[in-house]
Chains A and B, each alone.
Chain A
Amino acid sequence: MKRSKKAAAERQDRSAALLKMRFQATIYPGRNAKTKNWADDLDVDRVPDAEGGVRALITVEDLVRLLKRGLEVRLYRAHAYEPLDPGLIATDKEFKSWLDEGISILKAKPGPKPFVEP
């Protein structure tokens, strides 16, 4: 009994995580698109595309909704719901070192005599 409760909870966690995942997608009109403005009301998180494609970061719910509308969706990549990788955030030591160097340059010289005095 205990084991099945734990398994159910794990399943629930996995489902919740899946619902929050984002999938990199390109969306195509499919056969049912009736207007050239078919992409105006997709209600998805669009990202720019240099080639003019309709690209978006979509959820599972978005995917189901788009497919129900008869659109074609190609998925390329799955991204977990999580914070920025902490390894990409500057540590205080790294920040301090950058700042100290910058400040020392600013302190070293007063700068030119301005063309117009303040």
Chain B
Amino acid sequence: MYRTIAQLDEAIDSLLNTRPDLCTSVTLNNSVEGRPIRALRLRAGGGADRRGILIVGGMHARELMNPDAIIELAFDLAQAYTSETGLTYGGAEWSALDIRIMMETLDIWMLPCANPDGRNYVMTTDWNWRMNRRDNPGTPCDGVDPNRNCDFLWRVIGPTTVCNPCSTTQGFVGSLPFSEPESQNIHLLCDTHRIDVFVDVHSFSQFVLFPWGHAPTQTTQPLPNFTNLLAGFCRPLDPPGHQEFMPPSDQVKYQTVATRVADAIRAVRGSSYVLKTIFQVYNGTTTGTSSDYVYSRHISNPALRKTFAFAFETGPNTGNDRLSFQPVDPEPVKFDTKAGLVALIQQSVCAIEFIGETLQARTVDSIRTACDELLEPSEKGRGWIDFVSSVQHELLGIVLSDKALTKRAMSVLGLVRKLSAARGKATVSATDVEEGIEFFESLKSRATRPEVREAISVVNRQLKKASGQTVDTILKKLAKSSPPKF
């Protein structure tokens, strides 16, 4: 069953009224036809400047399942948090502590229905409508595709990106970049709130997507990049054959996170989601999309924070396009989608940032810079970052469950911060090593998964070798040695 716009609005109101301690909202630009559009924020506990994830659904009107899935996810997370039960979708499970960490370390933003006019039109007039309901002046044709209207190589045309409002493509780019309130709301949220991870949920074909959409992605030649390409002329990508650069560390991160998302979806009931770049979906240029826009912001303007942006294409190709967009029973697909989203939310948590910045209100930039400069450039170094990230959720859970351990974690992190700030000069002392090893041994005795206990042993073996060395030397050595594989 699919909910009407009025029902989705009522669900948001009820959530806000029942648990104002967990759910707040921001009012965004009204739709073209004047319908209110709101984004929800879920968070529990305190702490300023948290990492944020923004989940968007319903940008394309006919893809009806996703707004329902996202609003249900808001309820599921709030319920799992308050009742301390954890969350289960088929075979995919998250413990009460997992949910607590997500809710207490992140700001989880949701824009469940980005294009309410379009959804209403699908329910009242045309099941196949994809765009918003813009009346295009001087033409008998309505609608702009909000996911081709973002300010990223706008009006560079391709198989699903067109300049003719009367094209049956349903990919009209609009009269100006961000001419549509439905797309403006994406950049409004990114401009006004901290968004580290973004996902735009679409249907169908079972894909987990990431940039780029306008060209194939390559990781070797930083220039020329999209900022050097001509846009705005209703012409195909110029030069043809351009391949867009993505730093290797970003590509690894996209692959790693998307793989974990696909794994979580598979755990629900066996659905197989394939990882692709947006370009690969149509094997052609797609521009003005929200995901490429959101990821490109930090490149167009280096003063802006980097946001890792994904897109999902939920649900299988059933052989009947109408039923693929709007299955008679959408529940199984919604379970898959919700599991993928929870996995993405979980991947957005950063233990070091939470302890350092939220709990201690001090920057962890020195640690980040040391890792960026010394670990990220090499494949082995990135492997070590991935190794730490694969166990961080459980370790953060252990740390937060015990006040004394939380205090010790802050102390160890303070030490690492100090050593990283003076990383070429200050050396790690024998006492520092001892404090670190004792701390990690305390975590090990509480860890339940054997992989996590083994990971701690690996960390402690490295720590034992650290005495008398600078952080630079330690990280350089790590970058040359293979990380363990579990």
Contact = CB atoms under 8 A, between A and B. Distances in A.
Interface residues of A, number: 52
Interface of B: 1-4, 7, 10-11, 14-15, 18-19, 21-22, 44-47, 64, 75, 78-79, 81-84, 100, 104, 122-128, 130, 157-160, 162, 164, 167-170, 204-207, 236, 240, 274, 281-285, 313, 317, 319-322, 324, 326, 328, 358-359, 400, 406
A62 B166 CA distance: 12
A71 interface: no
B159 A42 contact: yes
A110 to B, nearest CB: 7
27 contacts: A24-B320, A40-B158, A45-B170, A48-B317, A49-B317, A50-B207, A61-B168, A77-B320, A81-B126, A84-B127, A85-B127, A88-B2, A88-B326, A88-B328, A89-B2, A90-B3, A90-B7, A106-B18, A109-B83, A111-B82, A111-B84, A112-B81, A114-B44, A115-B45, A115-B406, A116-B45, A118-B21
A108 B123 contact: no
A90 to B, nearest CB: 4
A49 B162 CA distance: 20
A118 B45 CA distance: 5
B169 A48 contact: no
Interface of A: 22, 24, 37, 39-50, 52, 55, 57-59, 61-62, 76-77, 79, 81-85, 88-90, 92, 94-95, 99, 102-103, 105-112, 114-118
A37 B10 CA distance: 47
Contacts of B18: 103, 106-107
Contacts of B4: 89-90
Nearest to B130: A45
Given A82-B126, A109-B84, 19 more contacts: A37-B284, A40-B158, A41-B157, A41-B236, A44-B169, A45-B168, A46-B160, A50-B206, A84-B2, A84-B122, A84-B326, A95-B7, A102-B75, A103-B14, A105-B79, A105-B83, A110-B82, A111-B44, A115-B359
A9 B162 CA distance: 35
Residue of A76, A94, A112 with most partner-chain B CB within 10 A: A112
Contact of B159 (A46, A82, A95): A46
A48 B328 contact: no
Contact of A39 (B10, B284, B324, B358): B284
A71 to B, nearest CB: 14
B24 to A, nearest CB: 12
A117 B48 CA distance: 11
Contact of A105 (B82, B204, B281): B82
A46 B168 CA distance: 10
B205 A84 contact: no
A40 B286 CA distance: 10
Contacts of A24: 320-321
Q: Max chain B CB contacts within 10 Å: which of A45, A77, A79?
A: A45
Contact of A43 (B123, B169, B205, B400): B169
Q: Which of A46, A84, A110 has the most C-beta atoms of chain B within 10 angstroms of its own C-beta?
A: A84
B126 A99 contact: no
B83 A83 contact: no
A42 to B, nearest CB: 7
B359 A83 contact: no
B46 A117 contact: yes
Interchain residue pairs A-B with the least CB separation, the first 10: A114-B45, A48-B205, A111-B82, A90-B1, A118-B46, A116-B46, A105-B79, A102-B75, A95-B7, A84-B127
